[in-house]
Structure 1
Amino acid sequence: MTINARTLAIVERPICRITSVCPPMRDIIERHQVWAYLIAVVLGLFVGWKTSPGEVGPDYMIWTLLGILLYTTFTQTPLTHLSEVFRDRQFMGALLTGNFVVMPAITALLVLALPDNDALKLGLLLVLLMPCTDWFVTFTHLGKGDSTRAVAATPVLLVAQLALLPLYLWLFLGSQFGVNLEFGRHLLPAFVGLIIVPLILAFLTHKWAEDSRKASRFIRLTGLMPVPLLTVILFIVSMTQASQIASTGGIVWILMILFPTYLLAAALVGKGLRQIFRLSPETGRTVVFSLGTRNSFVVLPLALSMPEAWAAAVVVIVVQSLVELFGMMFYLRWVPDRLLPNT
């Protein structure tokens, strides 16, 4: 069932209302967001190479900031109307087909380009087979996609990847893969901390705003926060991962070809699915951002928990996360302006 024009009007009205205050300030922030992200990444890499920042503090800081980032993004979404969006079968069909049929097939082809190293293959499979369930929502919002549909899609994406990832790993690696990844121990806390808790808090904030002008002003204020928060996160991630990238040698150059290739393929697949499923440009952008963003922050702890023999998998995930960050900067302009414009 597709969402008709009347339903879309009902769903979009709250988000238009809560994001229309302080437009000059918000417009300025979002107009210069790409430069802010680029400076954050470059500065973070420089600081990480010149110093040896501690790991425990920044790791906890990233998780905390990601949770706040998702909360501020969720507050800009009309959560009370998610049920209507969730029943959009065309959108869900495009999303699931792209993430769990088309892109895994493309990932299988990319694996063939890697050296004969099981750890490298595992790292690439782990990160490219896991659709993002956190900042995908933020990038969708910043890239003029449909953040309401993005929020509705996150639990579906998580359940599907939890169910299918072991099957994919068995198909692609077979008996060579003998490491216990302990999926539940890592993914369930990540999902609760980064998705469920911010989502519940944002929903309660919306309910509070129905009867409180103060809460409404607070929601409008949170609309200014996603870009600055994401800028800080990018700096910390780049800083803490710089040393690992510097120590990888020739592996990085192979990955620097494969991951941009994946991002280009994801965008083209998203555009094709948008035409096949007859989605609006805004909804099509949501599909593109979903196919392009991966769960690197969630799978990284999985890779770190494995024995030393599989350490190269960590390098793959680290490099992918940074390539994706640069790719999303490009996506934010290219997808709404060129790939899937409104006209």
Structure 2
Amino acid sequence: MRRQLLERHQVWLYLSSVLCGLGLGKLAPQLGGTADALLWPVLGLLLYATFTQVPMASVPAAFTERRFMAAALLGNFVLLPAVVWALVQFLPDDQALQLGLLLVLLVPCTDWFISFSQLGSGDAARATALTPVLLVLQLLLLPFYLWLLSDADLRVVFAPADIWPAVVVVLLPLGLALLTEAWAGRRPTGAAVVGHLGWWPVPLLAVVVLLVAVANVGAVLEDVHLLPTVLGVVMLFLAVSLLLSRALARMAGLGLAQGRTLAFSMATRNSFIVLPFALALPAGWETAAIVVVMQSLVELLGMIFCVWFIPRVLFPAARPQDRRGVLGAG
């Protein structure tokens, strides 16, 4: 199987994992403790494999594309947070629901965004160069955004005693991935290892989703009524992000491939980067983690549509007769 084929059909793998996890959790509730214990190391491994695919060495190259970079940063870190704030105003008075959506909608994607950009005729090279910038900025800005936009008492919700495992499970894989990237830059063996690690994120994320479902089947079934709300918010966010990306691309004078890449960057969110923080929340906040998982599944279904919509409708290539007309006018 080719890696691109695996990534193209990943959404069905995740949906199957959710259904299997819910079935296992319901039929064998004693597996919940085991699943909860396995979740953190598997999540750490997932983050490590994903971070090895984020080329930190390409950060300087990203800033050579100034108009594209400016549009991506403006869209992801100024306009979309304002959109998220507006959407949250219409949510039910449920702080866990609101926090879950804030966590996941405020952080741009740094993994499958590249795959979908490639599938949707975008510029995979620019997407790859952009990802480390997005990763660093979201880790720095997320606490500020939550302080600004959330009504929850973050000092209680993100108490150091509860949150330190999530910090470790994000920062430790990130540090190991940076060491791996440095090794890969010096040795062919390291480059081969990084190439093999590129296969890991999709199956590992499927395992993570399965373990979350097994460990939290009660909370999932209890919160299933929230699915229409999450579906509505995520789809509205997706629609607004696509419209904004079209406007930004036009203002910045971006080419078709750049515009498509910008659209995928703004439409996808970094669900599993914030999943550790959602899972580390104290008792009573389980809904936040369920919302993060729900959002990722809804988004993946939306990406199936976007792979068709973005290159054919939002940023369509000029038709042959249109190109002849332009040439003739010259």
TM-score, normalised to structure 1, is: 0.73
> Post-superposition shift, 1:43?
1.9
Distance 2:6 2:288 in 1: 34
In structure 2, list runs of 5 or more residues that go unmatched. Answer: 26-30, 319-330
Question: Quick check: 1:190 aligned with 2:205?
Answer: no
Counterpart of 1:293, as a letter, is: T
Q: For residues 296 and 107 of structure 2, what CA distance do their matches in structure 1 show?
A: 12
User: 3-state SS of the aligned residue for 2:224?
Assistant: coil
Distance (whole Å) between structure 2 residues aligned to residue 144 and residue 60 of structure 1 = 35
Answer yes or no: is 1:280 the counterpart of 2:280. no
**Number of positions where the alignment pairs a residue of Structure 1 with one of Structure 2:** 303
Give the aligned residue type for 1:101: V
User: Do the aligned partners of 2:11 and 2:301 also contact (CA within 8 Å) in 1?
Assistant: yes
Matched, 1:43 2:16: yes
Distance 1:332 1:234 in 2: 21
Residue 205 in structure 1 maps to residue 176 in structure 2: no
Q: Deviations over 1:131-155 (max 9, x none)?
A: 2234434443444433333343334
Kindly provide the amino acid, as one letter, of the partner of residue 112 in structure 1: Q
1:173 is displaced (CA, Å) by 3.1
Q: 1:133 aligns with which of 103, 110, 117?
A: 110
CA contact (8 A) 1:118 1:176 kept: no
2:204 corresponds to 1:233: yes
Alpha-carbon displacement from aligned partner over 1:246-294 (angstroms, at most 9, x marks no partner):
3313212211111121122222222221111112222222222221222
Q: How far apart are the structure 1 equivalents of 2:39 and 2:284?
A: 25
333 and 246 in structure 1: CA distance in 2 versus 1, 3 angstrom threshold: farther
* Distance in structure 1 (CA, Å) of the matches to 2:202 and 2:129: 25
Q: CA deviation at 1:90?
A: 0.9
Q: Deviations over 1:180-235 (max 9, x none)?
A: 525887457525524x54455346435545xxxx999x59x948x85x64542353
Specify which of 36, 42, 60 is matched with residue 61 of structure 1: 42
Distance 1:175 1:251 in 2: 19
- For residues 1-343 of structure 1, what are the structure 2 equivalents within 5 Å? 26=2, 30=4, 33-34=7-8, 36-52=9-25, 54-71=35-52, 73=53, 83-174=60-151, 176-179=153-156, 181=158, 186-187=166-167, 190-191=170-171, 193-194=173-174, 197-198=176-177, 201-202=180-181, 204-205=183-184, 207-208=186-187, 218=192, 222=195, 226=198, 229-242=200-213, 243=217, 244-343=219-318
Segment of structure 1 superposing worse, 250-259 or 331-340: 331-340
- Amino-acid identity (%): 34
Offset at 1:111? 0.6
Specify the code of the residue in structure 2 equivalent to 1:310: W
Amino acid at match of 1:133: T
Which whole-Å deviations, capped at 9, do the CAs of 1:61-87 have from their partners, x for residues lacking one?
34324533554x45xx7x876533322
What is the alpha-carbon distance in structure 1 between the residues aligned to residue 200 and residue 122 of structure 2? 19
Q: Is the 8 A contact 1:110 1:258 kept in 2?
A: yes
Counterpart CA distance in 1 for 2:11 and 2:225 is 24
CA contact (8 A) 2:123 2:261 kept: yes
Q: Closer, same or farther in 2 for the Cα pair 1:186/1:199, shift >3 Å?
A: same
What displacement does 1:245 show?
3.0
Q: Secondary structure at the match of 2:246?
A: helix
Q: CA deviation at 1:88?
A: 1.9
Distance of aligned partners of 1:63 and 1:336 in 2 relative to their CA distance in 1, 3 Å threshold: farther
Moved over 6 A (4+): none
Distance change (3 Å), C-alpha of 1:298 and 1:241: same
Provide TM-score, normalisation by structure 2: 0.76
Question: Does the 8 Å contact 1:86/1:149 carry over to 2?
Answer: no
Task: Tell me, in whole angstroms, the C-alpha distance in 1 between the residues paired with 2:59 and 2:23.
Answer: 46
The one-letter code matched in structure 2 to 1:126 is: L
Following superposition, the deviation at residue 107 of structure 1 comes to 0.7
